[in-house]
Structure 1
């Protein structure tokens, strides 16, 4: 097995590490809580189902030509959470548990956040600045702590939507926007987004599934922003609608699929 792996790597890089070929695209797969122990457990589970030893088989991830690792520990706790670990993974900056897309100086107190100093760039924003098409696909709400560091900066992962009619203004005069509002404000940075959390974007008065207390319809605001930029866009609010028009989806400049609550 070691010999075959070595030969495969030699074929991938015939000129050694001096190869000038670059990948056309990059896909970052973020499995919430998916460390080496989780992958090992999956390997043992697969082996058990096939009545084999774990060392005798591989997962698909084991066949990847290259691998790397990143330490995603929390800045303030032995046990990290999704917000801090995803912030480390997607921005390269450690954060305190419960904080999204900010540096360790931000705590769960909204007054601790100042976007002039505490908002590191995400790998997504850097990719967009470099001219790449970018997207986000998740089986969680778009506003969940795991994907949110791609675009949001907030003192609390629970602040996925606004429950109040009045904005939260901190001592720096900063409007601490909820995560869903931040997503819409940065919608121009995403070419494709598919995920859950539809209720976080809709007001309670408009939809029985709406959760927002500020009467804002963020899905309509997303459409309005696309129109202002003269972009062709598509909004899909149900799995049936998304599947029925799947052949037309990628003809649009901006796509938002949010078929789940």
Structure 2
């Protein structure tokens, strides 16, 4: 696995991106060979950071904690629409549009989102870029551009792209993932998964394209819980990816992957908790919990406009994550995604 180093700044970063469905092979332009290498993107990033550092005073010490907020699909038009809606809710129509809180931050930027083969990236290749620092092919998570989409095999270590979350773990920091999508969906999976197709979220998905015989890739759900036992907080939807069909899940292998995670955590003597219901989550006291797996919906979490007030919101989930991670003596890295903005755009839902 290509290793990356991280320098943690005293900033919470808001990223925006747009997504698109995967396109056919014939529509893809060939990737520049040097751009396939993670070292190319790391060199480019270091050069730009060094140049930017000449413009501003450097911080006297690195930040202890970093939170990366992602509004999936939240481009400039969506922010403008949000301002209009906020003004209407506050009875301020015709007055100056109220600004979003993050618009008062001291630094802002816009960035291009494209991958090795398309001008408009999808959530998988873009997550690999902003969480792993390397561009890859549409639909692929945590693998270099040498790997082809839907490549049904076990991947080599040199084909895997490291992530900021894994770098934070190596630095001795606590880590967490919060999302309103399935926790195995493309954006959060960019922090931990190495797989040639974003939709291979459980073994049933892998079998559909690769069969069940031979060295087929490990699905995203198993990668999350089996290969990344040191992530402290995992909260989102997608419980069906971790349970078999007999337990209202989608797995064909009969495995209760989430329950196996809890048993493994307990065998290590860790204070771990598994929560499988949004209402239960809201009632739970997380004092003393160091490892949390919250699978709060079978698929994606409900839109906030449709959410039962007794169900968890993204604010509730983030608050719990920070509560748990704040106990980490060396600080933490937390990824928080508002995933359903993008879904609403796809469904042409304006609110």
TM-score w.r.t. the length of structure 1 is: 0.81
Superposed displacement of residue 66, structure 1: 2.8
SS at match of 1:97: coil
Superposed displacement of residue 124, structure 1: 0.5
Superposed displacement of residue 77, structure 1: 1.3
Q: Which residue of 1 aligns with 2:217?
A: 176
**Contact map agreement 1:33 1:82 (CA 8 A) in 2:** no
Aligned length: 240
Report which stretch shifted further, 154-163 or 180-189. 180-189
Mark the structure with the bigger radius of gyration. 1
Q: Which residue of 1 aligns with 2:132?
A: 91
When the two chains are superposed, the root-mean-square deviation of aligned CA atoms in Å is 2.8
Alignment pair present for 1:237 and 2:276: yes
Residues 129-177 of structure 1: CA distance to partner in whole angstroms, max 9, x if unpaired? 111111111110000011101110100111000118979699xx85410
Superposed displacement of residue 41, structure 1: 3.9
Superposed displacement of residue 97, structure 1: 1.2
Is the alpha carbon distance of 1:77 and 1:24 closer, same or farther for their aligned partners in structure 2, counting shifts above 3 Å?
same
Superposed displacement of residue 213, structure 1: 0.5
Superposed displacement of residue 224, structure 1: 2.1
Measure the CA separation in 2 of the matches of 1:23 and 1:226.
Answer: 29
Measure the CA separation in 2 of the matches of 1:115 and 1:22.
Answer: 34
Q: Which residue of 2 aligns with 1:31?
A: 71
**Contact map agreement 2:123 2:187 (CA 8 A) in 1:** yes
Superposed displacement of residue 40, structure 1: 3.9
Which runs of structure 2 are paired with 1:48-197 in the superposition (5 Å)? 50-52=92-94, 57-111=98-152, 114-163=155-204, 175-197=216-238
Alignment pair present for 1:222 and 2:222: no
**Contact map agreement 1:187 1:222 (CA 8 A) in 2:** no
SS at match of 2:185: coil
Is the alpha carbon distance of 1:69 and 1:101 closer, same or farther for their aligned partners in structure 2, counting shifts above 3 Å?
farther
- Gapped regions of structure 1 (runs ≥ 5): 1-15
SS at match of 1:257: strand
Judging by fraction of residues, say which structure has more strand: 2
**Contact map agreement 2:163 2:191 (CA 8 A) in 1:** yes
- Gapped regions of structure 2 (runs ≥ 5): 1-55, 299-351
Measure the CA separation in 1 of the matches of 2:238 and 2:205.
Answer: 18
Measure the CA separation in 2 of the matches of 1:27 and 1:20.
Answer: 20
Measure the CA separation in 1 of the matches of 2:104 and 2:205.
Answer: 49
SS at match of 2:292: strand
Report which stretch shifted further, 18-27 or 142-151. 18-27
**Contact map agreement 1:72 1:89 (CA 8 A) in 2:** no
Is the alpha carbon distance of 1:240 and 1:185 closer, same or farther for their aligned partners in structure 2, counting shifts above 3 Å?
same
Superposed displacement of residue 18, structure 1: 3.9
Superposed displacement of residue 43, structure 1: 3.6
TM-score w.r.t. the length of structure 2 is: 0.62
Report which stretch shifted further, 72-81 or 135-144. 72-81
Measure the CA separation in 1 of the matches of 2:287 and 2:106.
Answer: 30
Is the alpha carbon distance of 1:75 and 1:226 closer, same or farther for their aligned partners in structure 2, counting shifts above 3 Å?
same
